[in-house]
Structure 1
Amino acid sequence: MKREFKLAVAIFIAIFIIDQVVKFGFANLGWDANGSVMSLKLAYNYGVAFSMFSFLDEYLKYIQLFIVVLGSIYLYKNIYLFKEYYIAIGLLYAGGLSNILDRFTYGAVVDYFYWHYGFEFAIFNFADVMINVSVAIIIFIQIRNNRREKNLKEKSSL
């Protein structure tokens, strides 16, 4: 368990720092760049994905922090889940808490990846990508575990 915790913390620290440094560059140093497929363009998201819930304005950061606290309590009470999903949890916490810090620092989440080739896609950031990667890892582990259970049941019924 110590090994998993140390690795999750290392992942968290690395992703969190990288994301905050890049966001600082876009918010304060004008790192914008235009391309034919994708542009790097500063945008502030006052909501969550696709600006949903932006009407919650100042309350959103506190709601999100409350959700993180609830999730942490749940993981503490179900430590076996942490052991199985520690990489995804490190990525998820890094991305989520980095975006929450943006709300306290900039008043909104700093976004900068803008895909515009063939279709226009929402502007997003590195933390958003890490959150999606963590969800993909969780889904992968769930599918793998379900297949293992199914195979064990089939073998035991023979």
Structure 2
Amino acid sequence: MKIITSISIFIVVFILDQFIKYAFVYFGWGYEGSCLSFQLAYNYGVAFSMFSFLKEYLKYIQLFLVVGGLIYLYFNKEVLKEYALPISLLFAGGLSNILDRFTYGAVVDYIYWHCGFEFAIFNLADMIINLAVAIIIYKQIFTKKDQKN
């Protein structure tokens, strides 16, 4: 049952993120607010546009990392069982952003925070990836505490 739930979460997050990005690119979605705006932007790098000089190669580097992660999970099935939810979120967000690189030549970003300070433009996949990492860290901290007790 856990595998079906994880695959379902992966599919829903992946499709939702791709639909939103498609709408920004082809339907001209956008909104200008006082603190939060939704505007189309292309990120040729990774977080905060780092490594944008590798823009043509990043999709292959990231795909290689995903394959490496899948190989690791294949040989460490207990990790997959323990972290099924965050892994499904991590792969959904990561693969969605990688698909953007193949489809649009860059990652499609659209959420822009500019209230009090300006922050990088990001997307749903980025938030999902951060959520997955936070869940993994949380589980690591509290699993170790439980093991000590």
TM-score range, shorter chain: over 0.9
Q: Of residues 42, 49, 69 in structure 2, which corresponds to 1:44?
A: 42
The Cα offsets for residues 128-153 of structure 1, whole Å up to 9 and x where unpaired, read as 000000001001100111101111xx
The amino acid that maps onto 2:68 is L
1:67 aligned residue: 65
The Cα offsets for residues 23-50 of structure 1, whole Å up to 9 and x where unpaired, read as 0010111101100110001000000000
Please give the alpha-carbon distance, in whole angstroms, between the structure 1 residues aligned to 2:135 and 2:67: 22
1:16 aligned residue: 14
Please give the alpha-carbon distance, in whole angstroms, between the structure 1 residues aligned to 2:141 and 2:17: 29
2:111 aligned residue: 113
TM-score under structure 2 normalisation? Answer: 0.99
2:122 aligned residue: 124
Consecutive unaligned residues of structure 1, counting only runs of 5 or more, are: 152-158
2:144 aligned residue: 146
Please give the alpha-carbon distance, in whole angstroms, between the structure 1 residues aligned to 2:95 and 2:145: 33
Runs of 4+ in 1 over 3 A off after TM superposition: none
TM-score under structure 1 normalisation? Answer: 0.93
The amino acid that maps onto 2:56 is E
1:91 aligned residue: 89
The Cα offsets for residues 40-93 of structure 1, whole Å up to 9 and x where unpaired, read as 010000000000111112110000000000000000100000001000001000
The count of corresponding residues between Structure 1 and Structure 2 is 149
Please give the alpha-carbon distance, in whole angstroms, between the structure 2 residues aligned to 1:57 and 1:126: 21
What secondary structure sits across from 1:42 in the alignment?
strand
Consecutive unaligned residues of structure 2, counting only runs of 5 or more, are: none
Q: Of residues 93, 102, 105 in structure 2, which corresponds to 1:104?
A: 102
What secondary structure sits across from 1:111 in the alignment?
strand
CA shift for structure 1 position 4: 1.9
Q: How large is the Cα RMSD of the aligned pairs? A: 0.5
